[in-house]
Amino acid sequence: MHSFARHRPSRAGKETQGLIESGGWRYDLTGWFHDTFSFRGTFRELRQRTATLARIQLEDAVLDVGCGTGTLAMEVQRRVGRAGRVAGVDPGTQQIARARAKAARRNVPISFQIGVIEQLPFPDQTFDVVLSTLMMHHLPAPLKRQGLAEIARVLKPGGRLVIADFTHKKERAGQAARFHAGGSRMQDLVALVSDAGFEQVETEEMRPPRFSAFPGAGFVCAHKR
Ligand SMILES: C[S@@+](CC[C@H](N)C(=O)[O-])C[C@H]1O[C@@H](n2cnc3c(N)ncnc32)[C@H](O)[C@@H]1O
């Protein structure tokens, strides 16, 4: 299994101001239920699109921040191949335990660690790509800034960042407005990403399919200078 050198010791979830998930297998079960019966496969599509927008290459080193139970990291591992390296961090101990169990079951070399976006446990310029799905709305604004600075630190020059998040609750209509999770205003994320020293910042919208309760999502893609 590939291992990434530790920059600083991992921190426990209670040390973050972010909203920690700790469902483990229950998180996966609920996600599967929503995706199958309410969202018509959009969760799965969102993760695939995140990996595609990052233009992941064989041999890339990729970090998934707020990786939850590791579903996106598994998809990324398939794309980077055995010569690539994939890591995931999340403060939720049950999320990381579940992610490790899934990786072990599939015999894939992914390094999952308990960690937080505001203090990533990696040296400077470790990764070609950093990804984050459905995580930004779990953070208060100052933590988003701090986290994006950390992402810039661990990315190599020219490295790619792709953030996917639900659209903001106030911008939803119909069934989607009833979905519990909040979200992000894409223009706010763009400003934060630009302030953190990224360039070529672009967005893409993912509209909810018809007759779906999916709240809608957006992607922000950028390059480190
Ligand atoms: C809705 S889940 C998304 C998980 C996964 N990315 C996915 O797409 O299924 C949000 C995740 O952000 C994590 N999180 C909360 N605060 C965090 C922080 N400070 N740093 C990193 N992750 C955090 C939570 O523990 C949770 O697993």
68-88: pLDDT as tens digits: 999 999 999 999 999 999 999
Start-to-end Cα distance in the chain: 31
Q: What is the crossing angle of helices 71-80 and 93-106, to 10°?
A: 40
Output the CA torsion sign for 136, 99, 79, 41.
negative
Give 48-62 pLDDT, tens digit per residue: 999 999 999 999 999
pLDDT of residue 214: 80
CA angle (89, 156, 148) in 5-degree steps: 50
CA of 68 from ligand 1 middle (Å) equals 5
Torsion of CA 89, 92, 95, 96, to 10 degrees: 50
Q: Ligand 1: does its nearest atom lie under 6 Å from the Cβ of 113? A: no
Q: Ligand 1: does its nearest atom lie under 6 Å from the Cβ of 70? A: no
Residue 195 exposed, middle or buried by CB count within 10 Å (0-12, 13-18, 19+): exposed
Whose tokens are 């933590």? That residue is 143
For the chain, give the mean pLDDT. Answer: 88
> For the chain, what's the residue count?
225
Pairing verdict, β 155-166 and 198-206 = unpaired
**What pTM, to 2 d.p., does this model score?**
0.90
Q: Ligand 1: does its nearest atom lie under 6 Å from the Cβ of 18? A: yes
Contact 208, 180 (CB under 8 A): no
Pocket test for ligand 1, best of 138, 144, 180 (most atoms within 8 A of CB): 138
pLDDT of residue 175: 56
Q: 219: number of CA atoms within 13 Å, CB side? A: 21
pLDDT of residue 9: 37
pLDDT band per the 50, 70, 90 thresholds, residue 208: confident
Tokens of 140: 């208060």
Pairwise CA distance, residues 76 & 112, whole Å: 13
pLDDT at 10 over 80: no
Pocket test for ligand 1, best of 35, 110, 135 (most atoms within 8 A of CB): 135
CA of 41 from ligand 1 middle (Å) equals 20
Q: Whose CA is nearest to atom 4 of ligand 1?
A: 68
Contact 64, 131 (CB under 8 A): yes
Q: Whose CA is nearest to atom 16 of ligand 1?
A: 18
Q: Say which DSSP state 184 is in.
A: B
**What average pLDDT does the segment 126-151 reach?**
95
